[in-house]
Amino acid sequence: MKTRKIKIIFIVGARPNFIKIAPLIREAKKYKNIRPILVNTGQHYDWEMSKVFFKELDIPKPQYNLNVGSGSHGQQTAKIMEKLEQVLLKEKPDLVAVVGDVNSTLAGALVAAKLHIPVAHVEAGLRSFDKRMPEEINRVITDHVSDYFFVTEPAAIKNLTKEGISPKKIFYVGNVMIDTLLKLKSKSEKFKICEKFKLKPKEYAVLTLHRQENVDNKEVFREILDAIGEIQKEIKIIWSIHPRTKKQLEKFNFYAKIKKMENLVLIKPLGYLDMLSLNNQAKFVLTDSGGIQEETTAIGIPCLTLRRNTERPITVVEGTNTVVGTNKKKIIAQVSKILNGNIKKGRVPKYWDGKASQRILIILNRVLKINKR
């Protein structure tokens, strides 16, 4: 009698998900007894627009594309849940794996839990303790309906156990984002991003900005832009501008302000390899992105986080990250330190070695085989 394969549904939907899911799918395919099924919710991009990420990251074409598109948090989460429920009822998987903290993460975990399908949360336990962030709500709720918790750093273990999660369900495995980074770093170095934008390595900074607490608040956004206006007088800044941020610049009539900044270069969002190459050759990075905090720690580039908190404290304690907030004077002061040679020296955290996905699949294969008996 032929043994039925263990069926795992992996859910993606936004750019950070693609980076995290790639090594998991690749590793799952090595197991003859596991059948991975990829579902793309289309939270940020429809299939046509996401093809570039799948190609760069070597992710197979999804078996299901839900194409939910944009909308409010409630609308988007509801659309994903409605469409995903039909997929799970049809496929009857042994496990649903969700990554990160986007709406697709929450929706996938909720649907699976309500159908009594075990949930694995990759990148579990991270906390900013700031419930104004939609990502924080997604993280907390996802964790409290999940069954297996794969964490990137010790602080996440502490958070989960404090919230009543059994230590037996928590697995310290490392960071799947770094699996992708280490696999593609040498390839990204062949991308002539500096030549494309006429840059000299270590003579420019990179800026990314997209979180709603920064770009939806006019006064906060203005404060950050005022800081950027001063910094660009000292060093060229390359701003890979998020579509949402671009929309807010228009809404607040801030384009006149940034047009006066001669050393600020606005560029369209880049693919993964181009962005990794750009960050890797930068003097420092200014960001409010959680993923970039981790990537800069892994490649040893100074990172200034334009937020009041971070859910990734290991990047500050051990890595190259400094949380500077959104105050103009504080941002400028930290940049001045870097420009004067006072650069924070970090180290790569434990298990950020490119093997996190291997550890995760070993554990999932073991527990799912036990549960099938």
Active site residues: 210
| CB neighbour burial string for 74-106, b if at least 16 within 10 angstroms, e if fewer | eebbebbbebbbebbeebebbbbbbbbbbbbbb
Please report, as a single letter, which amino acid is at residue 283: K
Q: CB neighbours of 173 closer than 8 A, spacing ≥ 6? A: 150, 151, 152, 351, 356, 359, 360, 363
Contact between 305 and 288 under an 8 Å Cβ cutoff? The reply is yes
Helix (H) or strand (E) holding 52: helix 47-57
Q: CB neighbours of 143 closer than 8 A, spacing ≥ 6? A: 121, 124, 125, 149, 160, 163, 165
User: For residue 156, how many other CB atoms are within 10 A of its CB?
Assistant: 25
User: In the block, which residue shows the tokens 């770093």?
Assistant: 185
- Beta bridge partners, 236, equal 204
Please report, as a single letter, which amino acid is at residue 138: N
d(CA 315, CA 279): 16
d(CA 20, CA 42): 16
Half-sphere exposure of 151 (CA within 13 A, CB side): 26
